[in-house]
Amino acid sequence: QTDGGVSSGVTRLLSRPSRLRQGDTMAASLGKVLVIGATGQTGSKMICELLDADQPRASKVVAYGNTRMPAYGGRNAALFTAMQAPMEKLAGERGEELHGFDAIFIHVGTQRRKAGLDGQIKLEYDDTLAVAKHARQGGCRDCHIVSSMGASSNGSFTYMKTKGRIEEALRTVGFERLVIYRPAMLYGGDRDTFFKRVLFNVVGSGKIDVAQVARAMRVVALRPPSQPVEVLENKELLLLAKG
């Protein structure tokens, strides 16, 4: 897809009216929302995008952290519930906690040096898929997931291959709407290091601020779907974040 094609596609997307649920008293609402991976770089920003506005974008946000409790103290904090549970627990015996939501935002990722190769694959594929299935079985309609630029189930690198596999698997779960976001290298979060800051200056446009990713996700989520499965690349996310 050319830059012109991306720009025209995003312009059409931005021009669509916001999603309105029958009986909403808010300008636009996603209903009850789950945020998985809410203590991560994009997950924590997602909470702000959903709630930190004069008119909240969700009627309720339940946010899960994998190892610690998420925190939020902005506007509409009364609509926020913080939870903590290891992903393997949500994928298993605590799965019923994920029932009764309208949309799920999945921001799951780890570093191989922390989890090991097998642990990384289990978290980002097996546990993520099980969590999504629990949500769908409980009535969830929409799934939004942060993947990665270059994701491919046929990829040579394990990380890209795992991201590609979870993208393909989620297509079979049965969500009414699935949106896959493929950001480039992330910056602006609490995990920036000197090496990463130097690398950002080298990669140029192949990067995106974590706040821009969350903003683009919010913009897309509040628009009617163009098709049941949407895949948005980094250039599109950067443009959407301006809206």
DSSP 8-state code for residue 85: -
Contact (Cβ atoms closer than 8 angstroms) between residue 185 and residue 205? no
Residue with tokens 């519930």: 81
CA dihedral of residues 198, 149, 151, 11 (deg, nearest 10) = 170
- Report pLDDT for 201: 46
pTM: 0.84
What 2-6 contacts at long range (C-beta under 8 Å, 24+ apart), as own/partner pairs, is 3/235, 6/233, 6/235, 6/236, 6/239
Going from the C-alpha of 184 to that of each of 74, 81, 168, the distances in angstroms are: 28, 30, 19
Q: What is the pLDDT along the chain (243 residues), one digit of tens a residue?
A: 444 454 445 444 444 444 444 433 334 589 999 999 999 999 999 999 999 999 999 999 999 999 999 999 999 999 999 999 999 999 999 999 999 999 999 999 766 666 577 878 999 999 999 999 999 999 999 999 999 999 999 988 999 999 999 999 999 999 999 999 999 999 985 554 443 444 444 444 589 999 999 999 999 999 999 899 999 999 999 999 997
